[in-house]
Amino acid sequence: MSSVASDLPLLCTPLYDLHLERGAKMAGFAGYDMPIQYPSGIIKEHLHTRFHAGLFDVAHMGQIKITAKSGHLADAQAALESVLPADILGLKRGRQVYSQFTTASGGISDDLMVANYGDFILLVVNAGGKMADNAMLQQKIGDRCHIEYLSERALIALQGPLAAECLAPHAPELKKMRFMDVRQSVLWGSDIMVSRSGYTGEDGYEISLPAHACDQIVRKLLTDPRVNLIGLGARDSLRLEAGLCLYGADLDQTTSPIEAGLNWSLPKIRRAGGARAGGFVGSDIILKQLAAGPARRRVGLQPQDRAPIRGGTLLYQSEQGGTAIGTVTSGGFGPSVGAPVAMGYVKSEFLPPLATKTQIFAELRGRRIAVTITQLPFVPLRYAK
């Protein structure tokens, strides 16, 4: 879990008072004072989300609404395709897609969700980069699009196998949504924008709601004993087990979507030979890499010992000597796996053929410990497909 050091006072989400009331341990994260954990602790919070329903404050994240100045949404969709590699023109009303803002050198400046609400496109971006994303969009597509940063809206996530059941009595229409569907709805009188998605590997929803109603709505959801507040600590262990990338750790300006193994988010239509091939920032470099194969690739790493390996740990081919063949970018303990789990980048020449396991070594406190390169995710994904 990385935090951004700064002298600026930390910002608060609308749920700040609630976090303090519930005994949260707070810490600075991307400029916000956020709950890392509640008194039950990260392991219990993690497992609660896997078995019941966890409620996350993710109001630090950015929500950006995009409309076309021409009045035709397709013009905004086309404009967005110049800054990210997804098929946005083909994104149907009521659907969402995962993508990345790419850089001229083929790196990633942020990763995000893009949702088509019919009258507008909603982007959900990371807290750390939201202001830079907004400025980049103004600069690159501001001539064609209205770009509105939604500062008056909060975001919460309800995740876990019971999420749908817990939400259904209050908004029955949300139950029939499938994974990556989006829709507008009403929850206790407030207008909400909902996607059936999340960052835990479980079924669930991310709900955009008016900031002024957030506290009241969350308290109502928490009256259901199956719903518990979950902090950012468990959010990190849940997403790590699910093999999902954290921007700033697993993805950054020096990492390409191909190296990160996000090829699945680069559809055929935007690849060489596709009807709208390339045309996004850095597409020459990224498409070349897709064809030739990347020099390094993101992989799952499972230490054979019980010691967790953390971001920054170097990886080696043998138990002694040699130069590093890779680096851990995220690592910790996986409460559902019951063992340490990690992910990182390894030079391609040292990678095993798919579906075979290879042992390498991680240097930890002056010793090399055995680590197995594994497929991601570490737990089965349980989306409502």
Partner 1 sequence: MTKYTKDHEYVKLNGDAATIGITHHAQDALGDLVFVELPALGRKVSAGEAIATVESVKAASDVYAPLSGEITAVNQAIIDDPGLVNRDPEDKGWFFVMKLSNPADFDGLLTEAAYKALL
Binding site for partner 1 (CB under 8 A): 1, 25, 36-37, 41-43, 46, 233, 236-237, 306-308, 310, 332-333, 335, 340, 365
Residue pointed to by tokens 């998605």? 197
Type of residue numbered 327? T
C-beta closer to partner 1: residue 160 or 233: 233
The dihedrals phi and psi of 157, each to the nearest 5 degrees, come to -125, 135
Q: H/E element holding 98? A: strand 95-102
Cβ of residue 206: shortest distance to partner 1, in angstroms? 23
Least separation in angstroms between residue 232's CB and partner 1 is 10
Smallest distance from partner 1 to CB 131, Å = 27
Q: Is the Cβ of residue 37 or residue 329 nearer to partner 1 in the bound state?
A: 37
Which residue's CB is nearer to partner 1, number 46 or number 183?
46
Element holding 290 (H helix, E strand): helix 283-292
Tell me whether residue 128 or residue 340 sits nearer to partner 1 (CB atom).
Answer: 340
> What is the 8-class DSSP label of residue 288?
H
CB 27 → partner 1: shortest distance, Å?
Answer: 10
Question: Residues 185, 194: contact at Cβ < 8 Å?
Answer: yes
Instruction: Tell me how far, at minimum, the Cβ of 372 lies from partner 1, in Å.
Output: 17
260/309 with CB nearer partner 1: 309
Q: Cβ(352)–Cβ(373) under 8 Å? A: yes
Three-state SS sequence of 15-40: CHHHHHHCCCEEEEECCEEEEEECCC
Query: What whole-number distance in Å separates Cα of residue 243 and Cα of residue 342?
Result: 9
Gyration radius from the chain CA atoms:
21
Nearer to partner 1, 257 or 335 (CB): 335
The pairing of strands 358-364 and 367-374 is antiparallel
Beta carbons within 8 Å of 79's beta carbon, 6+ residues apart: 66, 68, 141, 144, 145
Least Å distance, CB 299 to partner 1, is 22
C-beta of 205 vs 333, nearer to partner 1: 333
CA dihedral 296, 300, 306, 311 (to 10 degrees): 50
Report residue 152 as tokens. 């008056």
Cβ 34 to partner 1 shortest distance, Å:
13
Note whether 179 and 381 are within 8 A (CB).
no
Closest to partner 1 by CB, 294 vs 340, is 340
Min separation Cβ 129 and partner 1, Å: 23
